[in-house]
A and B are shown apart, each in its own frame.
Chain A
Amino acid sequence: KQEVTQIPAALSVPEGENLVLNCSFTDSAIYNLQWFRQDPGKGLTSLLLIQSSQREQTSGRLNASLDKSSGRSTLYIAASQPGDSATYLCASGNRDDKIIFGKGTRLHILP
C-alpha cells in the first residue's frame, strides 16, 4: 500500500530565500508524481507533473525532481515571495489506479 510523506509539516523562511520541499513515497512503481498548491479553504492548483520516465520538470521559479529508486521527490522554489505562502501537496499516481496524497507542507514566507 502506497504511503506518501511530506516533511516538514510547516516551514517559515524569509522572503528571497531559495527553499526545498520534500516528498517521499514507499512504492516506487508509480506512474507519476504531481505537485499542487492549496490556499486556505480553496481547491488545489496543479504546479508540476513528473512522469515516471522523467527526472525533473520546471515552471518559472519552480523545479520539481523525481528519484524513483530512492522514493523521493523535491520541489525547489527559487527567490521566494510572500505570495508563495500556501500549503504544498504532492501526490503519486499508482498502478492500482489510485492517487495518494501526502498531508502537505504549510509554507509561510516572511516579508
Chain B
Amino acid sequence: DAGVTQSPTHLIKTRGQHVTLRCSPISGHKSVSWYQQVLGQGPQFIFQYYEKEERGRGNFPDRFSARQFPNYSSELNVNALLLGDSALYLCASSFAGGPYNEQFFGPGTRLTVL
C-alpha cells in the first residue's frame, strides 16, 4: 500500500504570491493534519481535518487555510506569502480524527519564498 503522498516536492515562490500544497492520505485513513517545519525546529501544528470538517487549528494567521475532499485528500493554501513561510510542509494521515491516533507522515513539500 502507498504511504502518504504530497505534491509538489519542491516549490519556489515570491513574496505576495499564493501557493497550494496537496496531500493524499493512506488508503482507509479519514484524517489529515498539516504541519510547518522551519529548519532546526520541530513541526508546528497548522490544521487537522476529519471527515471533511476542521478538527483542530494551530496558531497560524488566516492566510493559512485548508480543506479536505470527499476522497479524504487535502489541500493547504497559503495567501500573501512572506519570507518567513519558507519551510518544509508536512502532511500526516491517521485513521480517525483527534490526537489519540498514530500519525503517519508524508515526505513533505519544501517551500522557498524569495
CB pair A103 B103 closer than 8 Å:
no
Q: Let me know if A20 is at the binding interface, CB within 8 A.
A: no
Among the listed B4, B99, B105, which residue makes an inter-chain contact with A31, where contact means beta carbons less than 8 Å apart? B99
CB pair B90 A99 closer than 8 Å:
no
Number of interface residues of B (CB under 8 A): 28
CB distance from B9 to the nearest CB of A (A): 10
CB pair B56 A97 closer than 8 Å:
yes
In the complex, what residue of chain B is closest to A94 when comparing beta carbons?
A: B99
Give chain A's interface secondary structure class: strand
Binds A, one of B12-20, B37-45, B64-72, B73-81: B37-45
Q: Let me know if A83 is at the binding interface, CB within 8 A.
A: no
CA distance A96 to B5 in the complex (A): 27
In the complex, what residue of chain A is closest to B100 when comparing beta carbons?
A: A31
In the complex, what residue of chain A is closest to B48 when comparing beta carbons?
A: A97
Q: Let me know if A49 is at the binding interface, CB within 8 A.
A: yes
Number of interface residues of A (CB under 8 A): 27
CB pair B42 A46 closer than 8 Å:
no
In the complex, what residue of chain A is closest to B97 when comparing beta carbons?
A: A97
CB pair B100 A100 closer than 8 Å:
no
- A94 CB contacts on chain B under 8 angstroms: 99
Q: A94-B99, A97-B56 are in contact. Are A44 and B48 (CB under 8 A)?
A: no
Q: Let me know if B58 is at the binding interface, CB within 8 A.
A: yes
- B28 CB contacts on chain A under 8 angstroms: none
- B58 CB contacts on chain A under 8 angstroms: 98
Q: List residues of A whose CB falls within 8 A of some B CB.
A: 4, 31-32, 34, 36, 41-46, 49, 51, 89, 91, 93-104
